[in-house]
Amino acid sequence: MVSAHRTGSSNRMQAAGHLRPHDHKKDGERGCGFQLLCASCGFPCRNRSESWVHTKATGHEGFYRPGDGAKDHRFLPMTCATCGFECISRAESWEHTMATWHEAFHSAEENTQETGRRCFNVNNKQPGDLEGSTLQHLLEVLEVASKKAGMVSSAEIAGPRTPCVRPQCGRQVGSQDFGGFCSKGCREQPSSSEAFCSPASEEEWNTIKSQLTQNWSPDEARGPALSPHAIYKIHASSEMIGRFNRRCRRIGKITEAGAIDSLGNQRQMLHGTRQLCSSSFSGRPCTQSGCSACCIMRNGFDISHLGKCTGNRGAFGAGHYSTSVCSTALGYGNVVLICKVAAGASQQASLPTSQSLPPGYHSRNVIKKSGVDELMVECDDQMLPEYLIQF
């Protein structure tokens, strides 16, 4: 992983008076390592390099040195003593070492202050000489040094220099797979103020593809199921999630067939719509007013746009429509959104109507003669997009 360089963080840590140096030395390279024992299974690791491999293989994050009980790989902030870059965990600090060769780190783990050893640097500069440098510059220096020494290149160490999918993160993604995020910690952060997408994991991809194939059509009249071109997980904004959750609480607990959550009688449904930027989409919803998919992902559903794409305001009432049949959803656009729908109490219908829902009902459930089902809800906050599927 390669991360964007930040300055001044080391000074902030020093001012707080909470410094404890940690190094990432590796056996046979820049000094001898020391033994670390896994706190979960007791497995002995010869150095931090081997302990990080153990963490990736087992998920065990707690390590200690025999005799002093020092912990390792826990999720607490660490600051590079050379460039001041802030890492959110010891795991991320190890990746920073792989990208820059900086070995000394401070943490706020203890109320003690010690002087950290000067980091090894490929061009033998003092830490003060590196102030204002960027990681990109350091990687270029590393590239030159690697070629001279016949070692692995910085590109192989750090991986592709693509930005993290989380808005305002500013860091870059390395060779490890965190689903488009720069680190595990960044991936596990709660929702942010701005919606964005990340590539679906292999497990999500296989599950969704299987469900779409099984629910492609109630008969064979629509041909074989299309295979998705791309699947993105939608990280809705905290505001959108809050609106949906409040709506579910207002509806209360109702359980009907197909519910995935009784609070609001939540159901997972498909909504077809149009995406103008599908060929260039990489995770950030665009700002084109006519791109319905990105407008939904960015701001949520909006009843004021009803019928703008299809000219159809709904045969079973004015509202937002969804279905469990993939071919039907895709017939309303070029992409499909998997959404959570707070169906609440559903009115059953079979004949077209323009009437609003009667009191006591939150949705209208329709089963057509073809076997296709459609679910209509009238409120914007009754639907929350979860995945974007491109064909």
Asked, for residue 74, whether it belongs to a domain, the answer is: yes
State the residue for tokens 């590079």.
80
Whether 119 and 204 map to the same domain: the answer is: no
Q: Are 256 and 343 in contact (CB under 8 A)?
A: yes
Looking at the structure, tell me whether residues 275 and 348 fall in a common domain: yes
Residue 286 belongs to a domain: yes
Instruction: Taking residues 7-18, report their average pLDDT.
Output: 34
Segments forming the whole domain that contains residue 111: 9-140
**Mean pLDDT, to the nearest integer, of 349-359?**
91
* Domain stops at, among 140, 164, 183: 140
Please write the tens of the pLDDT for every residue from 115-173.
333 333 333 333 333 333 344 444 444 454 444 444 444 444 444 457 888 887 878 77
- pLDDT grade for 5, boundaries at 50, 70 and 90: very low
* Residue 334 domain flag: yes
3-class secondary structure, 122: coil
116 plus 226 within the same structural domain: no
Domain-embedded: residue 181: no
Strand partners, 107: 78
Output the pLDDT for position 67: 59
The H or E element that residue 390 is part of is strand 383-390
Query: How far is Cα 190 from Cα 86, in angstroms, rounded to an integer?
Result: 19
pLDDT at 298 over 80: yes
Q: Please report the pLDDT score of residue 334 as a whole number.
A: 96
Residue 220, domain member (yes or no)? yes
Residue 154 lies in a domain: no
Round to whole Å and give the CA distance between 44 and 95: 21
Whichever domain contains 220, its CATH number is 3.90.228.10
Q: Which of 224, 345, 316, 214 is nearest to 270 (CA)?
A: 214
Residues 376 and 286 in one domain: yes
For the stretch 340-351, pLDDT in tens is: 999 999 999 988
Higher-confidence position of 278 and 185: 278
Query: pLDDT exceeding 90 applies to what percent of the chain?
Result: 41
Q: Is the pLDDT of residue 189 over 80?
A: yes
Write down the pLDDT at residue 107. Answer: 67
26-51 tens-digit pLDDT: 433 333 356 778 877 778 887 776 77
Residue 199 bridge partners (DSSP): 232
Q: Where does the pLDDT of residue 216 fall: very low under 50, low under 70, confident under 90, or very high at 90 and above?
A: very high
Tokens of 141: 């220096």
**pLDDT tens digits for range 300-317:** 999 988 866 666 677 899
In tens, the pLDDT along 224-239 reads 999 999 999 999 999 9
- Residue 69 has a pLDDT of 52
Q: Please indicate, yes or no, whether residues 226 and 340 belong to a single structural domain of this protein.
A: yes
